[in-house]
Amino acid sequence: MSLRESIHSARRFLFGDSARAFGSVSAVLLVVLAVVPARDHFREWLHYQNEYQNLIRNRRDGVSLARRFQGGVQQVWLPQLGVVDRCGTCHVAMKEVSLAGIAPQPFHPHPPIPHSLTEFGCVMCHRGQGAATTVAEAHSSTLSWENPVLPARYTESSCGECHEQPLTGTPRLDDGRDLLAQYGCVRCHKVASPEGRTIAPSDHPPGLKHVAEKTSREWIFAWIKNPQSYASSARMPNFQLSDADARDISAFLISQSTPYLPEADQKIPPIPAAAGADAVQQGASVYGEAFCASCHAMQNAAGLMVGGNVGTELTRVGSKVKPEWLAQWIRNPGIYSPRTVMPHYRLEPKNIGLIMSFLGSKTDSDFLSNVHLDPATAEQIAHGKRLVTEKGCASCHDINGVPHPDNFAPDLSAVGSLQLSKIVFLPGMPHTLPDYISAKIRNPHSFGNALKMPQFTLSDSQVESLVTALLAQTTRATTLPAALRMPAPAPSTYEPAGSAGELIKDLRCFSCHKINGRGGDMAPDLTWEGSSVQRAWLVNFLKAPNTLRPALIRRMPKFDLSDEEANTLADYIETVYQTPAFDRNEIDAAKLGASDAAHGKDLFYGKYACNSCHIVDPNKDKGYIGPTLTQVGLRLNAAWIFHWLKNAQALRPGTMELNWNMNDDDARAITAFLMQQKAAAKGASK
């Protein structure tokens, strides 16, 4: 039979009449329909579950792993959160700690976290599409689900959707939120919590209403052209101004400046910088003794930055400020800038002169050498004012005649929920939200020169932190059940009273110390300080602070307080800042026995190994983390030590001290031992 004939007969057999055709088509249809359920056996998750079972089969703990393994689609359903979470269908080993580091993904066990999987599911933190059971749909951004799984380095941002307060587990998020405040991002952008609370800026951009008194037009020109060329640590962003724009802005800023000194202060004779061969050297010592470096940084001869980052960098300050202004500023900074965080030192004119000559020597001849400005014309000044208004300078700085702009930049309160379809990505950049935000922060001008956002100087890790903090700003956060929200407490408006209160404000104690919830966290919380320290020690310390923690660079400055001022402050602290938890005199140190002390010494070096962090015998102990305890018997009250040893966190939340939960006998013994430590303080008493 030829091929043609056989095809012909096959056709006759299959489609010869209508019944045969019906039968043939039915057969094919049945085969195709049978493929449909068969396809269910090739689903991705089934493949992973089979792989997992092969993986555990030959392990020693395979039997118990297999017993805990549950096949089929695994689902966490949280209707209140709108979460249907099927990640566990493939990630079957999330609770199998024994597989850590052994099994490949998707079989990694989950590291321990404070939340339970059944309570929150996976997508609350990692985002992605929880309902999906395929790798692509669950993890990536698809047509039906825009929000992909967050890269692991940004996972902390999801913590921030509920938690507003810093957490030990979220350093990146907390850092990012601090940066938003420190770099003044929130001065232009609104970043509000679902409760409507905005992040408050924590930077201190100087007011410019009297700027001509402080510096020259040339310096302003050079500074606004490139702030980082003056001080590498400067936070002011680079606006990438042309020479003409910088010339006009500097002209306007000088022209709007007004005198700042009240008449009374103008009568005080100006203090000249100290002259003489070793004036600079002596000025450096005064600068050191006053612990200016606790706040101000300076590049040393080796090019290393030394000092704190609260105040401005002073490496080239001699090229910046005018001597008359500097003298007045050091004498009392509050006069020029009432909101400054710099304390009012009680320095003698002689010392002010010495500091001035030291700072005056900190110049950089190159910085202003190329700046030559002709006298400003009225046109330039007008143009400068327009530029200052356009660029939003008044968002940060007080400027005469330029009001603070409202809603200058886009509201970022929900930037973490920005729709990808609404974003114009740069060519070649990955189409994800984190990539977009970080590119925007890194280089705003790459998105077009019309953008007003200036160029900030930020490290990669700072950008990552900022992105983390911004990704926490989602609309999902606003729809969460109220019970899940962990908002930060309202900021404290605590004001100390009386003449001591005036002193506390004048000395800007809140710049570093926290009292009743108000203030910085650079130095110890003083809310219960009155229960803690002995009065005699406190008075001495206020007058001449010595070093409690040898490992720290930042130290309490020496304000040169008078006896009266020191006593006023000490009285106030002793009376007002007492804990209600115990009476500070409830343990009489004199009645603690010598045998107790000996036992306490054993416990100190033995059972509790306190010497790991603290020093009692400077010749022997090597603990540099906690405060030195050589004179703790003169410093602290016995009752405080006793309760501190029992539960330090109750007295000072967040302290590094461990919670020993000591029994009364041990605590009493160690207290007795510590109250014996009364080594003469060096330089404590004059």
Among 1, 3, 32, 483, binds other proteins (CB under 8 A): 32
Is residue 421 involved in binding other proteins (CB under 8 A)?
yes
Contact between 427 and other proteins per CB under 8 A: no
- Are the C-beta atoms of 633 and 675 separated by less than 8 Å? yes
Greatest Cα pair distance in the chain: 128
Rounded to a whole number of angstroms, the minimum distance from the CB of residue 19 to other proteins is: 4
Q: Which of the ranges 52-60, 61-69, 144-152, 579-587 carries the binding residues for other proteins, by CB under 8 A?
A: 144-152
**If binding means CB under 8 A, how many residues of this protein chain bind other proteins?**
35
Instruction: Give the one residue of 28, 136, 497, 598 binding other proteins; rule: CB under 8 A.
Output: 28
Q: How many angstroms separate the CA atoms of 440 and 430, rounded? A: 13
Partner residues linked to 299 by β-bridges? 305
CB atoms within 10 A of CB 407: 9
For residues 614 and 620, the answer to whether their CB atoms sit within 8 Å is: no
Residue 81 within binding range of other proteins, rule CB under 8 A: no
Asked if 134 interacts with other proteins (CB under 8 A), we say yes
Which residue number, 134 or 369, has a Cβ lying nearer to other proteins?
134
Interacting residue with other proteins among 13, 22, 494, 624 (CB under 8 A): 22
Q: Cβ distance 310 to 511 under 8 Å?
A: yes
- The least distance separating other proteins from the CB of residue 433, rounded to whole angstroms, comes to 15
Nearer to other proteins, 146 or 218 (CB): 146
CA distance 255 to 120: 59
What DSSP string runs through 11-39? HHHHHSSHHHHHHHHHHHHHHHHHHHHHH
Tell me whether residue 133 or residue 534 sits nearer to other proteins (CB atom). Answer: 133
Q: Which of 317, 300, 311 is nearest to 360 (CA)?
A: 317
- Nearer to other proteins (CB atom), residue 17 or residue 406: 17
When asked if residue 3 is in the footprint of other proteins (CB under 8 A), the reply is no
Q: Are 521 and 181 in contact (CB under 8 A)?
A: no
> What angle (nearest 5°) sits at the alpha carbon of residue 179, between those of residues 173 and 182?
145
Instruction: For the segment 41-60, give every residue that binds other proteins (CB under 8 A).
Output: none
Nearest approach in angstroms of CB 303 to other proteins is 52
Q: Does 435 bind other proteins (CB under 8 A)?
A: no
- The reply to whether 78 sits near other proteins by the rule CB under 8 A is no
CA dist 230 and 271 (Å) reads 26
Residue 306 sits in the site that holds other proteins (CB under 8 A): no
* Residue 540: C-alpha distances to residues 140, 346, 544, 571, 636 (Å): 63, 16, 6, 13, 13
**In this structure, what are the phi and psi dihedrals at residue 260, rounded to the nearest 5 degrees?**
-115, -20
> Does residue 484 belong to the site contacting other proteins (CB under 8 A)?
no
Judged by beta carbon, residue 14 or residue 192, the one nearer other proteins is 14
Distance CA(419)–CA(401), nearest Å, equals 39
Out of 1, 2, 4, 18, the only residue in the binding site for other proteins (CB under 8 A) is 18
Rule CB under 8 A: is residue 131 a binding residue for other proteins?
Answer: yes
Q: What are phi and psi of 323, to 5 degrees?
A: -60, -40
Residue of 7, 10, 29, 97 that binds other proteins (CB under 8 A): 29
Task: Find the part of the chain contacting other proteins (CB under 8 A) among 26-34, 229-237, 257-265, 283-291.
Answer: 26-34
Q: Name the residue nearer to other proteins (CB basis): 133 or 299.
A: 133
The least CB distance from residue 30 to other proteins, in Å, is 10
When asked if residue 19 is in the footprint of other proteins (CB under 8 A), the reply is: yes
If one counts every other C-beta atom within 10 angstroms of the C-beta of residue 299, the result is 18
Instruction: List the beta bridge partners of residue 671.
Output: none
The residue type of 310 is V
Q: Please tell me the distance from the alpha carbon of residue 190 to that of residue 422, in angstroms, as a whole number.
A: 20
> Which span sits near other proteins by CB under 8 A: 131-139, 246-254, 559-567, 662-670?
131-139
Q: Burial-class residue 3 by CB neighbours within 10 Å (0-12, 13-18, 19+).
A: exposed
**Applying CB under 8 A, which part among 19-27, 248-256, 613-621, 668-676 lies near other proteins?**
19-27
**Under rule CB under 8 A, residue 419 binds other proteins:** yes
Which one among 14, 62, 145, 554 touches other proteins, defined by CB under 8 A?
Answer: 145
Nearer to other proteins, 143 or 301 (CB): 143
Residues in the chain: 686
Q: Could you give the string, one character per residue 374-413, with x where binding to other proteins holds by CB under 8 A and - elsewhere?
A: ----------------------------------------
Q: Is 136 in the site for other proteins (CB under 8 A)?
A: no
Our finding on whether 132 is near other proteins (CB under 8 A) is yes
Q: Does 423 bind other proteins (CB under 8 A)?
A: no
The residue (of 147 and 299) whose beta carbon lies closer to other proteins is: 147
Give CA 395 to chain center in angstroms.
22
Does residue 113 interact with other proteins by CB under 8 A? no
Query: Site residues for other proteins, window 636-675 (CB under 8 A)?
Result: none
Tokens of 556: 């309490």
Q: What angle do CA 478, 479, 481 make, to 5 degrees?
A: 110
- Cβ neighbours of residue 460 closer than 8 Å, sequence gap 6 or more: none
Residue 417 binding other proteins, by CB under 8 A: no
Half-sphere exposure in the Cβ direction for 614 (13 Å, CA): 19
When asked if residue 91 is in the footprint of other proteins (CB under 8 A), the reply is no
The alpha carbon torsion through 286, 290, 295, 296 (nearest 10 deg) reads -10
β partners of residue 84: 77
Scanning 54-62, 138-146, 274-282, 612-620 for contacts with other proteins by CB under 8 A, the matching segment is 138-146
Return the CA Rg of the chain: 34
Are 359 and 284 spatial neighbours (Cβ–Cβ below 8 Å)?
no
Q: Map tokens 């094919």 to a residue.
A: 28
Which residues are bridge partners to 515 per DSSP? 518
User: Which one of 51, 146, 364, 506 is in contact with other proteins (CB under 8 A)?
Assistant: 146
Nearer to other proteins, 422 or 591 (CB): 422
Give the residue, chosen from 7, 10, 25, 102, that forms a contact with other proteins under the rule CB under 8 A.
Answer: 25
Q: Does 84 bind other proteins (CB under 8 A)?
A: yes
Q: Which residues bind other proteins (CB under 8 A)?
A: 17-23, 25-26, 28-29, 32-33, 35-37, 39-40, 73, 75, 82, 84, 86, 129, 131-134, 137, 143-146, 419, 421
